[in-house]
């Protein structure tokens, strides 16, 4: 991307899952005010932050005590520590976020991918999960954990509650630990609701969340986990704290102070997060519509800032005109001819020949802070010149590469 930019060529950055929005001034003030706090903090996190995080979950119907919470520099660190603490093999939804499988590669354990059912983005098909456990046992392997993502990255969709409930039942029957990655919960699109797997398998579900997406604070590194109030939960939490103590010691204390404010949810911050969710919804829908108009099968986006078009219906055209037969070929073609950056489905666990792409929409809000502020404040963000230009760029690229749906 940078090379293309340096050559003066156009780039449409839709590869990276960054929230693309400014920091709220209240959080900045809080961080500045706490910058003198230079001593190490407790490994589990500041007590006031654990209490605020417990309040955040309790207000949403998931009763939580501060003792169940662990704070870390990002939820990714918590997800890795959880994999290490759980041990055994893991079931991941196909498709699923890149780092889950990478964690198992680092740990030397094995990933069992299970397709998501229709309406179940981010959750592996519960019936197939049960079957996969048998297959693993027959191969002499033990699966101990399943990861779900609600709302989902890469598909930008939210699994239906009945699917989440069945998954919870299968997990309970088979003593699986469920890790529910809910980093996108607060940016579910307006009118969408997100089930809590922790209500369906309460003694076995760990929830992870953080401020990277809801408050666009990826670089501040702040994640939280909620462990179940059960003997299993207490054992896992103690194990994760042991790993935390030897690896990261504590999340940055000034950042934790700002996070207390975020999780106490004063009205201005609630409105700020709601405005981000509206913006994500508007732009993701506009991007999805452009892929659909070019013959892609694409589920309407429901949360976060991703669209996941499937170009299988255009396979004959893509093969004939461009010799494109894999998702990676298609992503390369879009980059080479048009500077459109997207990720091929295979990095999310799909077969190489799947013509699926993850299209991140949040870097279209602009490059300069004032553009991003304007996008957040706009009644109709699609009319802002830089967003309209980005959508035109996408349309031109799709016209060239895919033609229209009738081209077949
Ligand atoms: C599904 C998912 N989980 C976790 C993370 C990591 O979040 P954090 O910044 O809290 O480590 C990301 C970030 O891209 C994500 O997409």
Pocket perturbation via mutation, ligand 1, pick of 20, 72, 97 by most ligand atoms within 8 A of CB: 97
CB distance 287 to 363 below 8 Å = no
> Which atom in ligand 1 lies closest to the alpha carbon of residue 76?
11
Q: What is the pLDDT of residue 406?
A: 57
> Which atom in ligand 1 lies closest to the alpha carbon of residue 97?
1
Q: Which residues contact 37 (CB under 8 A, 6 or more apart)?
A: 253, 254, 257
CA 72 to centroid of ligand 1, rounded, Å: 13
CB of 261 sitting under 6 A from ligand 1:
no
> Which atom in ligand 1 lies closest to the alpha carbon of residue 152?
1
Strands 111-115 and 143-149: unpaired
Structure-block tokens of residue 353 = 């020949």
CB distance 85 to 137 below 8 Å = no
* pLDDT, one tens digit for every residue, the chain (408 residues): 888 889 999 999 999 989 999 999 999 999 999 999 999 999 999 999 999 999 999 999 999 999 999 999 999 999 999 999 999 999 999 999 999 999 999 999 999 999 999 999 999 999 999 999 999 999 999 999 999 999 999 999 999 999 999 999 999 999 999 999 999 999 999 999 999 999 999 999 999 999 999 999 999 999 999 999 999 999 999 999 999 999 999 999 999 999 999 999 999 999 999 999 999 999 999 999 999 999 999 999 999 999 999 999 999 999 999 999 999 999 999 999 999 999 999 999 999 999 999 999 999 999 899 999 999 999 999 999 999 999 999 999 999 999 875 555
Half-sphere exposure of 328 (CA within 13 A, CB side): 8
Q: What is the pLDDT of residue 1?
A: 82
> How far is residue 401 CA from its own chain's centroid?
28
Structure-block tokens of residue 57 = 């979950």
CB of 149 sitting under 6 A from ligand 1:
yes
CB of 212 sitting under 6 A from ligand 1:
yes
Residue 297, SS3 per DSSP: strand
Between 315-322 and 385-402, two packed helices, what is the crossing angle to 10 degrees? 80
CA dist list (Å): 132 to 24, 105, 274: 45, 19, 39
Between 267-292 and 385-402, two packed helices, what is the crossing angle to 10 degrees? 30
Buried b (16+ CB within 10 A) or exposed e, 252-267: bbbbbbbbbbbbeeee
CA 183 to centroid of ligand 1, rounded, Å: 6
Residue 188, SS3 per DSSP: strand
Structure-block tokens of residue 52 = 């605020």
Cα–Cα distance for residue pair 252/257, rounded to 1 Å: 9
Residue 94, SS3 per DSSP: strand
CA 319 to centroid of ligand 1, rounded, Å: 34
Structure-block tokens of residue 340 = 């459109």
**DSSP H or E stretch at residue 217:** none
CB of 121 sitting under 6 A from ligand 1:
no
Cα–Cα distance for residue pair 309/295, rounded to 1 Å: 9
Nearest CA to ligand 1 atom 5: 76
In which region does residue 193 sit, left (phi positive, over 0), alpha (psi from -120 to 50) or beta (all else)? beta
CA 134 to centroid of ligand 1, rounded, Å: 30
CB of 210 sitting under 6 A from ligand 1:
yes
CB of 362 sitting under 6 A from ligand 1:
no
CA 211 to centroid of ligand 1, rounded, Å: 9
Give 209's strand partners.
224
All structural domains of the chain: 2-17+268-402 (3.90.1150.10), 33-264 (3.40.640.10)
CA 206 to centroid of ligand 1, rounded, Å: 15
Nearest CA to ligand 1 atom 4: 76
Q: Which residues contact 215 (CB under 8 A, 6 or more apart)?
A: 19, 23, 24, 27, 262, 269, 272, 273
Alpha-carbon dihedral of residues 341, 375, 21, 399, nearest 10 degrees?
Answer: -10
CB of 75 sitting under 6 A from ligand 1:
yes
Residue linked to tokens 């106490």: 264
Q: What is the pLDDT of residue 405?
A: 55
Cα–Cα distance for residue pair 222/302, rounded to 1 Å: 24
Task: Identify the CA nearest to 390 among candidates 9, 26, 12.
Answer: 12
Q: What is the pLDDT of residue 387?
A: 97
CA 394 to centroid of ligand 1, rounded, Å: 26
CB distance 1 to 13 below 8 Å = yes
Task: Identify the CA nearest to 248 among candidates 85, 99, 44, 50.
Answer: 44
Buried b (16+ CB within 10 A) or exposed e, 12-45: bbbbebbbbbbbbeebeebbeebeeeeeebebbb
Dihedral of alpha carbons 19, 23, 27, 30, sign = positive
CA 9 to centroid of ligand 1, rounded, Å: 30
Residue 390 DSSP one-character state: H
CA 71 to centroid of ligand 1, rounded, Å: 14
Task: Identify the CA nearest to 229 among candidates 204, 208, 210, 200.
Answer: 204
- Report how far apart the first and last C-alpha atoms of the chain are (Å, whole number): 31
């Amino acid at each position: 991307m940078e090379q293309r930019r340096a050559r003066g060529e156009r780039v449409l950055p839709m590869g990276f899952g960054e929230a693309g929005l400014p920091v709220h001034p209240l959080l900045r003030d809080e961080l500045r005010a706490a910058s003198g706090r230079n001593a190490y903090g407790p490994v589990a996190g500041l007590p006031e932050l654990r209490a605020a995080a417990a309040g955040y979950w309790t207000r949403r119907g998931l009763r939580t005590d501060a003792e169940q919470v662990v704070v870390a520099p990002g939820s990714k660190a918590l997800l890795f520590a959880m994999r290490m603490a759980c041990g055994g093999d893991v079931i991941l939804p196909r498709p699923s976020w890149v780092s889950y499988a990478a964690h198992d590669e680092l740990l030397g354990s094995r990933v069992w991918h299970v397709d998501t059912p229709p309406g179940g983005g981010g959750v592996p098909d519960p019936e197939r999960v049960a079957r996969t456990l048998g297959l693993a046992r027959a191969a002499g392997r033990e699966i101990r954990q399943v990861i779900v993502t609600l709302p989902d990255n890469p598909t930008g969709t939210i699994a239906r509650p009945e699917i989440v409930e069945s998954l919870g039942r299968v997990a309970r029957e088979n003593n699986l630990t469920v890790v529910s990655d809910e980093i996108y919960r607060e940016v579910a699109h307006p009118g969408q609701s997100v089930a809590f797997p922790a209500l369906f398998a309460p003694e076995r579900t760990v929830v992870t969340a953080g401020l990277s997406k809801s408050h666009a604070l990826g670089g501040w590194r702040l994640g939280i986990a909620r462990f179940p109030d059960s003997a299993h939960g207490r054992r896992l939490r103690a194990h994760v704290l042991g790993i935390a103590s030897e690896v990261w010691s504590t999340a940055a204390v000034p950042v934790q102070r700002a996070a207390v404010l975020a999780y106490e949810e004063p009205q201005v911050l609630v409105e700020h997060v709601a405005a981000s969710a509206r913006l994500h919804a508007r732009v993701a829908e506009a991007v999805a519509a452009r892929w659909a108009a070019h013959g892609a099968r694409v589920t309407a986006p429901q949360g976060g800032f991703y669209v996941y078009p499937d170009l299988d219906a255009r396979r004959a055209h893509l093969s004939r005109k461009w010799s494109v037969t894999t998702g990676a070929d298609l992503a390369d073609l879009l980059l080479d001819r048009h500077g459109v950056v997207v990720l091929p489905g295979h990095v999310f666990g799909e077969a190489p020949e799947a013509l699926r792409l993850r299209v991140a929409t949040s870097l279209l809000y602009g490059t300069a802070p004032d553009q991003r502020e304007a996008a957040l404040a706009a009644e109709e963000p699609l009319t802002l010149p830089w967003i309209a230009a980005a959508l035109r760029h996408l349309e031109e690229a799709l016209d060239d590469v895919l033609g229209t749906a009738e081209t077949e």
